[in-house]
Amino acid sequence: MARELHPDVTGQKSNYRFQQITGAYTLLKNLQPEELEALTVPDSLTENEKLRSEHERQQRRAEAERIERAEKVKQEARSAKIDSILSKYESDLSDYYANRKSGDDSDMRDVILRLKSKKSKVINAVLKHSAPFANRVEFRKALTEILNRPEIELSTAEIAGSLPFDVRTRKLIALDTAGNSGNFTAGLIISLIGNDSDAMESMLLHVSPENAAVILRRWPAGRVMNDGVIRSLLSSDDMRVLVPLLGAMMTHFPKSAVKHRKRLAELESHSAAAVRAWARKLLQTKGVLNLS
């Protein structure tokens, strides 16, 4: 092998292999016969030794599986205990508010303290009893922090969306959380935007296509959308955004088509028939035709 892979024969491409072979030869030629025999012990194991070795491997594997099962049982027991504690906490909290007149400052401090928890179950338990505080400044700020977290539990969003916010509180929460509204459920978005076009515009720049459609279909009559928002939405190629947007433009602010006629002309070639139809209809409005 050394002769076949010598650099003079193969060039440098087999140099590493040649070094391995010569190194092995140097090692082996200096070993005593009993040392050479020791290297072959795995091949000379008796049948009983092989069975014993396999048995030991099976025992180690069984022990590892036993430890894994025990750890899984321990984790499940720990999780069940936590769920039990949280369930009792929620039950006790319900009893607490049922038997006490809520709304005073001590209750407010109690609610705010628990809203700072990282556990969604604790937050949800408190939110269910927070209606009396929904429009308090401290509560609004605490809830805003929760809604701005990277991940929001579906149950938390649903409970928050059911709280009785007044118009001002709703708008402030919507504006302060708009940047994270891509993580909101449709129900929470509907609850926060109400009929406020400012809140709608803020969220339209961040929500998913499906929720953008939810907002656009609720656009208030007689309100003109900001040109920057229209431009941003028109830049999308998603028909879930374009169809309700073009419909809202045609229904509520058709004159805005004048400023966006170039993009509307491009949309006449869109792959979706509904988008093409709305774009063509907007381009045929009187104001756009007069400038064509």
CA distances from 163 to 156, 189, 241, 243 (A): 11, 13, 28, 31
Whether 3 is in a domain gets the answer: yes
Give per-residue pLDDT as tens, 212-223.
999 999 999 989
User: What is the C-alpha separation between 32 and 193, in angstroms, rounded?
Assistant: 87
Give per-residue pLDDT as tens, 138-156.
999 999 999 999 888 889 9
Radius of gyration of the chain (CA): 35
Predicted local distance difference test score (pLDDT) of residue 29: 83
Which percentage of the chain shows pLDDT scores above 90?
47
Whether 151 is in a domain gets the answer: no
- Provide φ and ψ at 205, rounded to 5°: -80, -5
Predicted local distance difference test score (pLDDT) of residue 39: 67
SS3 content of the chain, % helix, strand, coil (to 5): 75, 0, 25
Q: Give, for 200, the enclosing helix (H) or strand (E).
A: helix 197-204
Predicted local distance difference test score (pLDDT) of residue 135: 92
At 103, the amino acid letter reads G
Tokens of 167: 């118009």
- Provide φ and ψ at 253, rounded to 5°: -145, 65
Residue 94 has pLDDT above 70, yes or no: no
pLDDT: which is higher, 202 or 100: 202
User: What is the C-alpha separation between 284 and 292, in angstroms, rounded?
Assistant: 10
Q: How confident is the model at residue 292 (pLDDT cuts 50, 70, 90)?
A: very low
In this structure, of 40-54, 101-115, 121-135, the range with the lowest mean pLDDT score is 40-54
Write the CB contacts of 214 (distance below 8 Å, at least 6 apart in sequence).
186, 189, 190
The mean predicted confidence, pLDDT, of the chain is: 85
Residue 287 has pLDDT above 80, yes or no: no
Burial label, 292 (beta-carbon count in 10 A; 0-12, 13-18, 19+): exposed
Q: How confident is the model at residue 24 (pLDDT cuts 50, 70, 90)?
A: confident
Whether 193 is in a domain gets the answer: no
CB 136 within 8 A of CB 164: no
Whether 72 is in a domain gets the answer: no
Write the CB contacts of 189 (distance below 8 Å, at least 6 apart in sequence).
181, 203, 207, 211, 214, 215
Which percentage of the chain shows pLDDT scores above 70?
87
Q: How many CB atoms lie under 10 A from the CB of residue 17?
A: 14
Predicted local distance difference test score (pLDDT) of residue 272: 94
User: What is the C-alpha separation between 225 and 179, in angstroms, rounded?
Assistant: 19
Whether 15 is in a domain gets the answer: yes
Mean pLDDT of 116-129: 86
CA 286 to chain centre: 45
Whether 238 is in a domain gets the answer: yes
Whether 109 is in a domain gets the answer: no
Predicted local distance difference test score (pLDDT) of residue 13: 76
Give per-residue pLDDT as tens, 222-271.
899 999 999 999 999 999 999 999 999 999 999 999 999 999 999 999 99
pLDDT: which is higher, 35 or 277: 277
Tokens of 277: 């139809």
Q: How many domains does the chain have?
A: 2
Parent domain of 15: 1-29
Q: Spell 97-131 as b/e; 16+ CB within 10 A means b.
A: beeeebeeeebbebbbebbeeeebbbbbbbbebbe
pLDDT: which is higher, 125 or 41: 125
Whether 264 is in a domain gets the answer: yes
Q: Give 129's DSSP letter.
A: T
